[in-house]
Chain A
Amino acid sequence: MSKKNIIIYSLILVFGLSAPFLFPAYKLQISILWVLTILALTWDIQGGQMGYNSFGNILFFGVGMYVCSSVQIGMFFPLSEWTASGGEKTFLHTTSQYFQGFTYGLIFAGIVPAIVAALIGYGILGLRGHYFAICTLGIGIAAGEIAGGIELIGAGQGMTVPPWPKGIGGTELRSQFFYYLCFLTVCVTFFVIRLIYQTRFGLVINAIRDNEDKAEAMGIHTMRYKIIGWVVSAFFLGIAGGLMGNMIGYIEPTEIAFAGSTYGVFMVLMAILGGKGTLWGPVIGAAVFHVFKEGFWTFFLGWQYVALGALIIVIVIFFPEGILGWFREKYPENFGEVVDEVDRTAQVELT
């Protein structure tokens, strides 16, 4: 790791750890920022690095959310009674039950979407370009409608997640807990993704983006890489979903869990804004986007979606490659794109 990297990482670490004390009023907002960063990072695995623009990744977010809370509840109480009667009033999780359930819930929130991604991916990752994008868009919308029809998880009414246990301190501790959990998750996600981008997997998904036919002609089983990429992405998205559901405390099928028109679009925008196909792009994009979004909601209330639309237009016209992509075009030498002048002798003479 270079010196520059160490400085950047430690700055972010210090900010992440101290933010709840420095900006206590914005604790929830910063927690959401970390979740948004996970969304952008995982979207970028397909959309940026692999060149498969998916508009349906929200599916895994929602599935993770539902699976997490279903496991939390179902481990100790009958799930159908809970959702039918507003069960949080009759059934109470003890402190140990709550944390035990939450742990298992998050584990399953990762695994189940990963399996779903493998199954769906096997079916639709053979599609390319626009066809893949439209297909995933359909899947994301369908998921919300389907979830809205399942009685067991509360159908269109939604379901409540287990409330914070009474015995161990109030809302202050709760928000603290969720803040650090979000921060931990985003760190783990970032480093796992950073690690796999350095392996052969990272090279091959880039190759798929640039020229899938060539990659196939060179004998690479591209399908396998595409599915694995989606599975990794779904795993972390699912966990992010589980976290988000618990943080909000209430799950609704089309507005919160499978919120294609908000989080589903945001994750694409953030990755593109920061620079898709780069490791840091989605992180930068998420931060910038979140600041803009909250600014619009505060200062342009009523017109916030108009302002957001204007932002999208500006991004697409002036930064089609995103912030990092723009810098790369401008200063390629800072990204290692240099002609090796010293080794000019190594150039074989063409006669």
Chain B
Amino acid sequence: MGIILEVDQVYKHFGGVKANENVSLNVEEGSIVGLIGPNGSGKTTLFNSIVGTHPIDQGSIYFEGKEISSLPIPAVAKLGLLRTFQQTRIYEKLNCIQNMLVSSKPENDTVFNIFAKVPHNLTEKSENLLKFVGLYQKRNLRAGDLSFGQQKLLELAMALINEPKMLLLDEPTAGINPTLINGIIDRLIKVNKEFGITLLVIEHNMRVIMSLAQKIFCLAHGQLLAEGSPEQIKNDHRVIDAYLGVQ
């Protein structure tokens, strides 16, 4: 299987803060890859760089062999590369179904599409995806009234309706109770296996990332510290030092 996402020597500075320095990583198509690191190590900055929230200072990013580092967010999204956020971002005053419908993007925002009725099969598709994440019952409630964990699930479903090729997930299990975490892991594996979507996951919960990812990259102080299988990372002294401090 080929490389779907290639980050090549990316630099991103905010004033004097070196958020990302010479970061390179590859993600294979169809895999689940973890991205870990202490707080402030530049994980979310890297996500922002990849999807085009801000321009990078140096280096290049390839998605399916195409240079995307200078593309704006909508253009990247159109290629099939979507992200979710650490703090859930849902449309809180719309109900779950509407949240799903608005997320499904037509090919182009032409005036004709803008004023087109929402097609019926889309509602059906939304309901199926809500069933998949276990929110079907609450489909008519406002998204803002859901619990935090349910909002995360909703956000996942919203990303899935566009049938992306790859998803960047920013801490999908942060702030969620342990029972629901298992549910989310289960869903993520299904997303990967059944829908064939490549996942790049930022995660602090080691149990989650070790059971989920096939390969893990570890960032510290904006630099790539280590990469390897979960076993290798678990036993890597540099990683342990970075998390717990050098002894």
Q: A-facing mask of B191-217, CB < 8 A → 1, else 0? A: 000000000000000000000000000
Q: In which size bucket is the chain B interface?
A: 35 or more
For A199, list chain B residues within 8 Å (CB): 114-118
For B76, list chain A residues within 8 Å (CB): 219
- Asked whether, in the complex, the Cβ of A201 is within 8 Å of the Cβ of B138, the reply is no
- Asked whether, in the complex, the Cβ of A348 is within 8 Å of the Cβ of B132, the reply is yes
Question: Which of A39-47, A204-212, A248-256 faces chain B?
Answer: A204-212
Q: A-facing mask of B129-146, CB < 8 A → 1, else 0? A: 001111011111110010
For A336, list chain B residues within 8 Å (CB): 95, 140
- Asked whether, in the complex, the Cβ of B51 is within 8 Å of the Cβ of A217, the reply is yes
Which residue of B92, B109, B138 is within 8 Å of A339 (Cβ)? B138
**A220 proximal to B (CB < 8 A):** yes
Given the known interface contacts A211-B91, A218-B158, the answer about A340 and B74 at a Cβ–Cβ threshold of 8 Å is no
- Asked whether, in the complex, the Cβ of A218 is within 8 Å of the Cβ of B103, the reply is yes
- In the bound complex, CA of A340 to CA of B85 (Å): 28
Give the one of B83, B142, B159 with max A CB within 10 A: B142
- In the bound complex, CA of A287 to CA of B101 (Å): 33
- Asked whether, in the complex, the Cβ of A348 is within 8 Å of the Cβ of B134, the reply is yes
- Asked whether, in the complex, the Cβ of A340 is within 8 Å of the Cβ of B115, the reply is no
- Asked whether, in the complex, the Cβ of A347 is within 8 Å of the Cβ of B136, the reply is yes
**B121 proximal to A (CB < 8 A):** no
For A351, list chain B residues within 8 Å (CB): 182-183, 186
**Quick one: closest B residue to A214, CB to CB?**
B89
**A166 proximal to B (CB < 8 A):** no
**A3 proximal to B (CB < 8 A):** no
Q: In which size bucket is the chain A interface?
A: 35 or more
Q: A-facing mask of B69-91, CB < 8 A → 1, else 0? A: 00001101110001101000111
- In the bound complex, CA of A92 to CA of B36 (Å): 81
Give the one of B101, B114, B141, B142 with max A CB within 10 A: B114
For A200, list chain B residues within 8 Å (CB): 101-102, 106, 113-118
- Asked whether, in the complex, the Cβ of A337 is within 8 Å of the Cβ of B140, the reply is yes
Given the known interface contacts A206-B98, A216-B74, the answer about A350 and B183 at a Cβ–Cβ threshold of 8 Å is yes
- Asked whether, in the complex, the Cβ of B137 is within 8 Å of the Cβ of A346, the reply is yes
- Asked whether, in the complex, the Cβ of A221 is within 8 Å of the Cβ of B74, the reply is yes
Given the known interface contacts A203-B94, A348-B131, the answer about A343 and B77 at a Cβ–Cβ threshold of 8 Å is no
Given the known interface contacts A347-B137, A350-B180, the answer about A214 and B85 at a Cβ–Cβ threshold of 8 Å is yes
- In the bound complex, CA of A337 to CA of B133 (Å): 19
Given the known interface contacts A206-B93, A214-B91, the answer about A339 and B162 at a Cβ–Cβ threshold of 8 Å is no
Give the one of B109, B145, B179 with max A CB within 10 A: B109
Which residue of B113, B140, B158 is within 8 Å of A338 (Cβ)? B140
- In the bound complex, CA of A167 to CA of B78 (Å): 63
**Quick one: closest A residue to B136, CB to CB?**
A346
**A260 proximal to B (CB < 8 A):** no
- Asked whether, in the complex, the Cβ of B109 is within 8 Å of the Cβ of A218, the reply is no
Given the known interface contacts A198-B117, A199-B114, A224-B114, the answer about A346 and B131 at a Cβ–Cβ threshold of 8 Å is yes
For A219, list chain B residues within 8 Å (CB): 73-74, 76-78, 82, 105, 162
For B90, list chain A residues within 8 Å (CB): 210-211, 214
